[in-house]
Each structure stands twice: as structure tokens, then as C-alpha cells.
């Protein structure tokens, strides 16, 4: 990709060994190195992921049999709320941009760091502050929140649990998201290496760029909404409460104006990861580079206009429902463009099924199920039947866990050897993948059937006819967790004890594979000059 | 009621002193987050405080069709003679200085665009809940609002009725419409009610502005006797001072939205047109 980046190879000092202003732990939490910040995010986000998994595990355990088994209904309400809040706001939304975006965006465009390294560090601190506030809400005030992760009014205004602190925590997290967005947009505009034109950008960078704009433009909306909720709760301003002349539908509009695009904040970077992995393991250039790049922008823009499909039965006007339904079907088009281009990339490639590719292929499969089930809900009449059932829960987990979750696993398997210079045991990876795949489908597919049959979501209990499928689903959660443990132990072990691999174990053509593994402090000895596209295998 | 008024007066405050008020709110917010007091926001049912006015939806119930009202022509007529097709029912009072006239005005506008045949596919009935109002006033209003409809509209398709207190109260109770006299004026919710040909309540449309498409759907449902979910429950109440007090909130949101977009646009212009920062060695390499 570059003429010659490492003219004279010196013994490279890995970024995590290069001297910082402070030693020890302070060297990490006060470092402005984008790679160290990426690792900080990796650790904190994985910690919250495991917390969220544990909460989900407890919920499934409660649903093992009808009737009360483990906990009281109020505890269950708190569990699904926390599971949602932690997974959405602390894991999937920051997930890929904060971990892999921070680590690889500057390297992939040939820069030494992001545009604002200190703001980058600040955004991690804000993320941690928001997370701590949200966690603090569990033990103070009226106890853990029970509103569901959507904080719908008027319930969230009236319940006695500690909504204000949790909502304030999410409000704070928003700033972290906005700052990361501004940082990435500026970095992509300003810090591209000579010769790195817009259409030579790796597709991962394109997807981060589109995501960053969504983060900048829609996150303030949720900020204002949560602030209004706080004002209403604490000083009694009547904005959302119908008893005070407010409008609860207004809350839903404002909340989903952010939270639907937030789903694209979650999935777009994941699509970027897949576009990055596929060409490397098919050994050929990506099919339809521009179509994939522009479909990211199309998803980001059209996806910002579909929020009303969450409100088909909330009592918005029929006309609005009709338009939102139409736009929802429309947004499936750019998503499908990506899927077709990925499949076309594999066609006639010389495919090597390494673990990253396996996770990427699984992404395409599970995301397609998630995407297609989404179209069911987008149909106005059918949504009346499916709304607020397990179908929605199943659909959402197929898209977000089957999609973004598997992309994160794929990204870990793809980039970990670059980050630490060591390889995990591939056989264990294959095994872990198989267990996760089986567990995932055993856990979530029954939910689609349950929802179709009428099992409402967020219920503590269920009727006897639902028992078999609920039981299968709970068993699925055990298989899934076993697979996750296997995968994380394998990856974690490899960081310290894995076999050393060279700078480019996969034969990737993008810039990060042309520098030492692990990368050095400022990535490049000399800023490279780029002379060809990111997936050009013909002339290297 | 007290809380209701308080809620409104918050919006109608002047712009002056806002920054100080915001600062104060900031402090309040901060301290209430640190020391949450359950009493401040514990389970309070606000609906009881405004017992006087509001709407208790009676979807699916049949209104008493034997109640009689006065037509504009001064004839007494039972409701069952008027409600024999899907019917849009508007409870108003004709001398209302505020929202009732907006409501009827907007209703006339919607009927103008409604793709359905008045008098055949649907009828409209406005009934005054002020028992002191007479058919003469109703006749005047009928002339006024029918003149706003530009397409041919049979006179019989929109009735303007008046009645005595007993009948009014019975009708209002049957559709869950709670209003209160205050001197010469009234406090009352603002909504229209869709009735099926046999007098069943099938939908409530809240607020003062109605989309023709929504109205058409509501009429279709009513013609089949199907009960529909409530559309956009923006309960607007009529007060003698500021019926659109909540504009303040919407304006804040509008301004915030526009500012965000302007900043975003300025940001992209800045990024595109300002020359890139270059590392010294990078510059030399070009």
C-alpha cells in the first residue's frame, strides 16, 4: 500500500512499553496515545459487557420455569432495565468506535494520532464518569431503576426508584459519544496521509466517519430529552406528563429521534469491520467499494428519519405511521446493498476460513435474519400483533448481538494479533465459535416463535404453553455463556502467552498491517505516502 | 387544578431572569441528584388534582340516542335522527373566545380536504355545552363555518345544536367529557369524538388540528363500528389566558435543533475549507 514505510527497521518498542509521563497505572489512565486509550476502552467496555451478560443470565434463569423461581417481580424489572442500559449505553454504542476506532482509525489513514488526543482521553474519563453515575444509582435514592432502558414517561416520572441519577448518567455518557464523533470527523478530514484520498480510505474508516456524524447530530437530542425529564421530575415542569398538560408522545418522539439512529451507531461500524475482514480472507479487492461507502452514508441519513416506527401503536397519526413505515422499508435497501456486495466479494475469491472470517460470515447470516425480521415489524398491520412481544426481543438481539456482537468478536480475532503481536489458539477459536453460534440461536430463535405466539416482552412470568420454548431459550443462554468464556479465556491467554506472529499474519493490505506488531508509540517511523487503494492485492 | 395552573404558569414566564433561573435549576438539579428525596417525586396521581376537567375515554360505549337538542331552526330533535352514519361530534360553546373557534375553524379546514362525501359517508354535529346559548347564535356560527368550506357541502351535514343542562350533562357524561363553568367562560378539554352509525364511541381525536388522512381513517373505522386507538393524546385545555402555553417548550426544542444543525454545517465547512494541519516532516515530503 505504501512505497516504503519501514526504511530501516529498528528494534520497535511496542506502544505499551514506550515511556509515558507517569508510570504504572497512571501511564494508562492519563495517556493521550490513541492506542492506550483504545485498550482502556477495551477493558472497560468488556467489563460492562460481562456485567450485562450476567444480568441477562439471571433473567433467563428466572424464566426457566413458570411462576416465581429466583427473585421478586421488582427485581426482575430492575434486571431487564439494567441489562438494557448497560448493554446499549455502555457496550454496543461505544463498542467498536471507541475500541477499534480509537486504535486503528489513525493508523489506517496514516496518522500519528487522532486530531485531538487530549479530548480523546477526556471522552474516556467522561465515559467512566457516566458509567459510575449509572452504577451509583443502583445503591442510592429509591434503588435500581425499573423503567426499561427507554425511560418512558409518565412511568419514569412517577416511579419511586432512583431514575434521576441513572438518567443523568446516560446524559453524561452522551458527551463522551459526541466528543469521540467530533474527534473522528476532524481526524478523517485533516490527518490523512499524503495520497490517502477519500476513495482510498479503508471502508472501516468510511463507516466510522458516517457514524461520527450521526453521533454529533443526534446525541444532543437525547441529551435535551433526558434533561427535560429531569426537570419535570425534580421541579415539576409539565412537558411530558399529560396530567400537567404535557405530552408523553412527545417524549417518545424525542427519545427515538436519538435512539433509532443510535441503532445505526451500533451497526454501521460493525459493517465497516466486516468490509475490512472479507477482502483479506477472500484475497481479492472488495466488490463495489463506492456502493458500500455511500450506503453507509445512506443508512446514516435515512436511518435518522425512521424513528416513528417504534410508535405505530403509541397513537401517533396514521399519516405519520404510513410515512415512517415507508422510510423503514427504504432503509433496508442500503443494508441489502452491503450484504450483496459482501457476498459478491467472496465470489471467486481464494477463501481462507480463519476465525475472523468465520465470525464475519456468521455476522452476515445472523444480521440477515435480524434485518428481515425487522421488515415484519415495519409493516403497519403486522406490527400491531408483534409490538412489545418476544419477537421484538428476538429481532433486536439478532441485529445487535448477532450483528454488532459478532463483528466485535470478529474484530478481536482479526486485530488482536496486531495489537499485541501474538496469536491465539485457532482450534480453540473454532470450537468457541461453534459453541457461541449454537448457543446464540438456541437462546434467541425461540424468542421469535414465542413472540409470534403472543408472549409479551418484559414479563416476569408466563403461561404454561410457553414453557417448552422458554426452557430451550434458557438452556441456550448456558451454551452461549460457555462459548463466551472459552473465547475470552483463549484471547486473554494469547495476549500474554500466545505464539509470536509477524507484522502481517493475515496478509492484509491496509496500512495497519505494514507497521510492526504491536505498533510503536506514534505508529509510523515516517508518515507513509499512499499510492493505491486499501484492498489492492495485485500490485504490492 | 392547582398543579395544572402551576404547570402552565411555568411556561408563560417572561424571558427576563431566565439565566438566573437556569442557574438556580442547575443547583437544584445537582443537589437533588446527590441527595434524592423520595418525597419530592414519589408516586403522585396527578389526575385527581384536575378532577373538574378532562376526558375519560369511553371507547366502545353507546351514547344515549334519545337525548333531544335544539336545531339551528329551533326544532327539537333527538340525537338518533342525526346520528345515522359515522358522525364527528364536537363539544364546544359558541361564544368561546379561544380554542373552540380554533377547533371549529380547523375542523372546517379539514372537512374541506376530506376525501369523503359529507352527508352520505359522514355527518358533523357540534353541540354547545353552554345551556344559556340559543339557536340564533348557533345559526350564525353555522353560516360562518359552512362559508369556510369551499366545496359543496349540504347544510344538513353539519348541525349546530344547543340544549338544556340535563341533556348536555348526560351526553357529556356518556362520552367522558368533563368541563367546568368559570363565570361566563368554561374550562374544558379540546377534542373531537367519532361516533359509529349506531352511536358507539369509536375514536377520540385530541387537539385542535386534524390531518384529513387521520379523519378519513377514523370515519372508515366508525362506519364499520370498529373502535380505534387514541391518536396523539395531546390534551389541550382551554383557559382564559394562554391556551398555547406549551409553545415555549416546542420553541426551545426547535431552536436547539436548528442550532445543532447550523453548528454541524459550520463544522463541516470549517473542516473542508481550512487547510489541513501538517506535521513538519509531512510537509517536507510533499
Task: Report, as an integer, the average pLDDT of A47-72.
Answer: 94
Instruction: With beta carbons under 8 A apart, name residues in chain A contacting B205.
Output: none
pLDDT > 60? residue B240:
no
- Which of 3.40.30.10, 3.40.50.9100, 3.30.300.180, 3.40.50.300 is the CATH number of B54-237? 3.40.30.10
Instruction: With beta carbons under 8 A apart, name residues in chain A contacting B8.
Output: 238, 245
Copy the grid coordinates of residue A36.
Answer: 492506550
- Assess B214–A contact: CB distance below 8 Å, yes or no: yes
Asked whether this complex has an ipTM greater than 0.85, the answer is no
Residue A521 is classified by DSSP as T
Instruction: With beta carbons under 8 A apart, name residues in chain B contacting A322.
Output: 213
How crowded is residue A192: how many other Cβ atoms within 10 Å of its Cβ? 20
Copy the grid coordinates of residue A85.
Answer: 442500559
Three-state secondary structure string covering A291-302: HHHHHHHHHHHH
What are the residues whose beta carbons fall under 8 Å from the beta carbon of B188, sequence distance 6 or more? B53, B91, B93, B129, B177, B179, B180, B237, B238
Q: Are strands B54-55 and A499-500 parallel, antiparallel or unpaired?
A: unpaired
Distance CA A483, CA A434 (A): 8
The reported pLDDT for the residue numbered B28 is 52
The reported pLDDT for the residue numbered B236 is 40
The reported pLDDT for the residue numbered B54 is 83
A234 to B253: CB separation less than 8 angstroms, yes or no: no
pLDDT > 50? residue B67:
yes
End-to-end CA, chain B:
73
Output the CA–CA distances (angstroms, integers) from residue A377 to A256, A309, A448, A537, in the order listed: 16, 8, 12, 42
The reported pLDDT for the residue numbered A328 is 94
Do the Cβ atoms of A364 and A343 come closer than 8 Å? yes
Distance CA A49, CA A414 (A): 19
Confidence of residue A167 (pLDDT cuts 50, 70, 90): very high
**pLDDT tens per residue across span A274-309:** 999 999 999 989 999 999 999 988 998 899 899 999
The reported pLDDT for the residue numbered B47 is 41
User: Is A47 among the domain residues?
Assistant: yes
Confidence of residue B6 (pLDDT cuts 50, 70, 90): very low
CATH number at residue A165: 1.20.210.10
Instruction: With beta carbons under 8 A apart, name residues in chain B contacting A531.
Output: none
**pLDDT tens per residue across span B186-215:** 888 888 999 999 999 988 888 777 888 888
**pLDDT tens per residue across span A114-146:** 999 999 999 999 999 999 999 898 888 888 999
Task: Report, as an integer, the average pLDDT of A353-359.
Answer: 96
**A:93-152 residues touching chain B, CB 8 A cutoff:** 112, 115, 140-142
Q: Cell 477459536 sits at which residue?
A: A429
Distance CA B195, CA B91 (A): 13
Least-confidence region, from A375-379, B111-115, B230-234: B230-234
The reported pLDDT for the residue numbered B24 is 58
Q: How far is B137 from chain A (nearest CA, A)?
A: 31
Higher local confidence (pLDDT), B23 or A33: A33
Q: How far is A282 from chain B (nearest CA, A)?
A: 34
The reported pLDDT for the residue numbered B259 is 84
Q: Residue A321's domain spans which residues?
A: 31-514
The reported pLDDT for the residue numbered B234 is 41
Q: How far is B7 from chain A (nearest CA, A)?
A: 5
**pLDDT tens per residue across span A246-260:** 788 889 999 999 999
A315 to B10: CB separation less than 8 angstroms, yes or no: no
Do the Cβ atoms of A310 and A392 come closer than 8 Å? no
**Helix, strand, coil distribution of chain B in percent, nearest 5:** 45, 20, 35
User: Is A16 among the domain residues?
Assistant: no
Nearest 10 degrees: CA dihedral of A409, A49, A166, B234? 50
> Phi and psi for B27 in degrees, rounded to 5?
-60, -45
The tally of domains found in chain A comes to 1
Nearest CA to A178 among A222, A133, A230?
A222
**pLDDT tens per residue across span A319-341:** 889 999 999 999 999 999 999 99
- Distance, CA of B30 to chain centre: 35
Copy the grid coordinates of residue A68.
Answer: 416465581
**B:103-162 residues touching chain A, CB 8 A cutoff:** none
- Mean pLDDT (chain A) is 92
Q: What's this model's pTM, rounded to 2 decimal places?
A: 0.75
Confidence of residue B230 (pLDDT cuts 50, 70, 90): low
User: Is A492 among the domain residues?
Assistant: yes
Q: How far is B14 from chain A (nearest CA, A)?
A: 15
> Phi and psi for B191 in degrees, rounded to 5?
-165, 160
Amino acid at each position: 500500500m505504501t512505497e516504503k514505510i519501514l526504511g530501516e527497521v529498528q528494534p520497535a518498542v511496542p506502544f505499551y512499553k514506550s515511556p509515558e509521563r507517569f508510570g504504572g497505572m497512571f501511564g494508562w489512565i492519563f495517556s493521550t496515545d490513541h492506542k492506550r486509550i483504545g485498550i482502556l476502552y477495551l477493558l472497560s467496555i468488556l467489563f460492562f459487557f460481562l456485567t450485562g451478560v450476567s444480568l441477562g443470565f439471571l433473567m433467563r434463569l428466572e424464566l426457566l420455569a413458570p411462576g416465581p423461581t429466583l427473585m421478586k417481580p421488582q427485581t426482575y424489572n430492575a434486571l431487564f432495565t439494567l441489562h438494557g442500559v448497560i448493554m446499549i449505553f455502555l457496550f454496543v454504542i461505544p463498542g467498536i468506535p471507541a475500541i477499534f476506532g480509537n486504535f486503528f482509525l489513525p493508523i489506517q489513514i496514516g496518522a500519528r494520532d487522532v486530531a485531538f488526543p487530549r479530548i480523546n482521553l477526556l471522552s474516556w474519563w467522561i465515559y467512566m464518569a457516566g458509567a459510575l453515575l449509572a452504577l451509583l444509582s443502583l445503591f442510592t435514592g429509591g434503588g435500581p431503576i425499573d423503567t426499561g432502558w427507554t425511560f418512558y414517561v409518565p412511568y419514569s416520572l412517577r416511579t419511586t426508584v432512583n431514575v434521576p441519577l441513572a438518567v443523568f448518567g446516560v446524559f453524561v455518557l452522551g458527551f463522551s459519544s459526541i466528543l469521540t464523533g467530533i474527534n473522528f470527523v476532524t481526524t478523517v478530514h485533516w490527518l490523512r496521509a499524503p495520497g490517502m484520498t477519500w476513495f482510498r480510505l479503508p471502508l472501516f474508516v468510511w463507516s466510522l466517519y458516517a457514524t461520527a456524524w450521526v453521533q454529533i447530530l443526534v446525541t444532543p437530542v437525547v441529551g435535551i430529552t433526558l434533561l427535560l425529564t429531569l426537570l419535570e421530575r425534580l421541579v415539576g415542569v409539565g412537558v411530558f406528563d399529560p396530567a400537567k398538560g404535557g405530552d408523553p408522545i412527545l417524549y417518545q418522539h424525542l427519545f427515538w429521534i436519538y435512539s433509532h439512529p443510535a441503532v445505526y451507531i451500533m451497526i454501521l461500524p460493525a459493517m465497516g469491520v466486516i468490509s475490512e475482514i472479507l477482502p483479506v480472507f477472500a484475497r481479492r479487492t472488495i466488490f463495489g467499494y463506492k456502493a458500500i461507502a455511500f450506503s453507509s452514508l445512506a443508512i446514516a441519513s435515512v436511518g435518522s428519519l425512521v424513528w416513528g416506527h417504534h410508535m405505530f401503536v403509541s397513537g401517533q397519526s396514521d399519516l405519520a405511521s404510513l410515512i415512517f413505515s415507508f422510510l423503514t422499508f427504504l432503509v433496508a435497501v442500503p443494508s441489502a446493498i452491503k450484504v450483496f456486495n459482501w457476498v459478491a466479494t467472496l465470489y471467486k475469491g481464494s477463501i481462507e476460513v480463519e476465525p475472523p472470517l468465520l465470525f464475519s460470515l456468521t455476522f452476515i447470516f445472523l444480521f440477515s435474519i435480524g434485518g428481515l425480521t425487522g421488515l415484519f415489524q415495519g409493516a403497519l398491520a403486522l406490527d400491531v400483533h408483534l409490538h412489545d412481544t418476544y419477537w421484538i426481543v428476538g429481532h433486536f438481539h439478532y441485529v445487535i448481538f448477532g450483528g454488532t456482537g459478532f463483528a466485535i468478536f470478529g474484530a478481536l480475532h482479526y486485530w488482536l494479533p496486531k495489537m499485541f503481536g501474538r496469536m491465539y489458539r485457532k482450534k480453540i477459536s473454532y470450537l468457541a465459535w461453534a459453541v457461541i453460534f449454537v448457543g446464540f440461536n438456541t437462546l434467541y430463535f425461540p424468542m421469535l416463535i414465542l413472540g409470534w405466539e403472543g408472549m409479551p416482552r418484559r414479563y416476569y412470568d408466563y403461561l404454561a404453553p410457553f414453557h417448552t420454548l422458554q426452557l430451550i431459550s434458557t438452556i441456550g443462554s448456558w451454551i452461549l455463556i460457555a462459548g463466551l468464556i472459552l473465547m475470552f479465556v483463549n484471547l486473554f491467554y494469547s495476549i500474554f502467552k500466545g505464539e509470536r506472529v509477524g507484522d502481517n499474519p493475515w496478509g492484509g493490505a491496509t496500512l495497519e498491517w505494514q507497521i510492526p506488531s504491536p505498533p510503536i508509540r506514534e505508529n509510523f517511523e515516517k508518515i507513509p505516502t499512499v499510492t493505491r487503494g486499501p484492498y489492492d492485492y495485485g500490485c504490492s | 387544578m392547582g398543579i395544572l395552573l402551576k404547570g402552565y404558569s411555568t411556561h408563560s414566564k417572561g424571558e427576563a431572569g431566565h439565566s438566573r433561573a437556569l442557574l438556580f435549576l442547575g443547583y437544584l438539579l445537582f443537589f437533588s441528584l446527590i441527595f434524592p428525596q423520595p418525597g419530592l417525586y414519589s408516586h403522585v396521581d396527578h389526575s385527581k388534582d384536575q378532577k373538574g376537567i378532562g376526558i375519560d375515554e369511553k371507547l366502545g360505549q353507546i351514547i344515549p340516542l334519545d337525548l333531544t337538542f335544539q336545531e339551528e331552526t329551533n326544532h327539537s330533535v333527538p340525537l338518533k335522527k342525526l346520528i345515522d352514519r359515522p358522525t364527528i361530534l364536537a363539544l364546544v360553546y359558541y361564544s368561546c373566545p379561544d380554542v373552540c373557534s380554533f377547533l371549529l375553524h380547523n375542523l372546517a379546514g379539514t372537512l374541506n380536504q376530506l376525501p369523503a362525501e359529507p352527508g352520505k359517508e359522514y355527518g358533523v354535529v357540534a353541540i354547545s355545552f353552554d345551556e344559556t346559548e340559543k339557536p340564533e347564535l348557533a345559526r350564525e356560527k353555522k353560516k360562518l363555518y359552512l362559508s369556510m368550506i369551499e366545496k359543496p357541502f349540504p347544510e344538513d351535514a353539519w348541525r349546530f345544536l344547543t340544549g338544556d343542562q340535563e341533556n348536555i350533562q348526560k351526553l357529556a357524561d356518556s362520552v367522558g367529557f368533563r368541563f367546568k363553568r368559570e363565570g361566563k367562560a368554561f374550562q374544558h378539554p379540546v377534542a373531537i369524538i367519532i361516533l359509529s352509525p349506531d352511536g358507539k364511541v369509536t375514536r377520540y381525536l385530541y387537539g385542535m388540528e386534524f390531518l384529513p388522512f387521520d379523519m378519513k381513517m377514523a370515519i372508515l373505522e366508525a362506519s364499520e363500528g370498529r373502535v380505534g386507538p387514541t391518536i396523539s393524546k395531546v390534551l389541550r385545555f382551554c383557559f382564559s389566558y394562554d391556551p398555547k402555553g406549551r409553545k415555549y417548550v416546542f420553541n426551545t426544542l426547535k431552536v436547539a435543533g436548528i442550532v445543532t444543525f447550523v453548528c454541524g454545517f459550520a463544522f463541516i465547512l470549517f473542516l473542508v475549507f481550512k487547510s489541513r494541519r501538517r506535521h513538519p516532516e509531512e510537509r517536507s515530503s510533499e
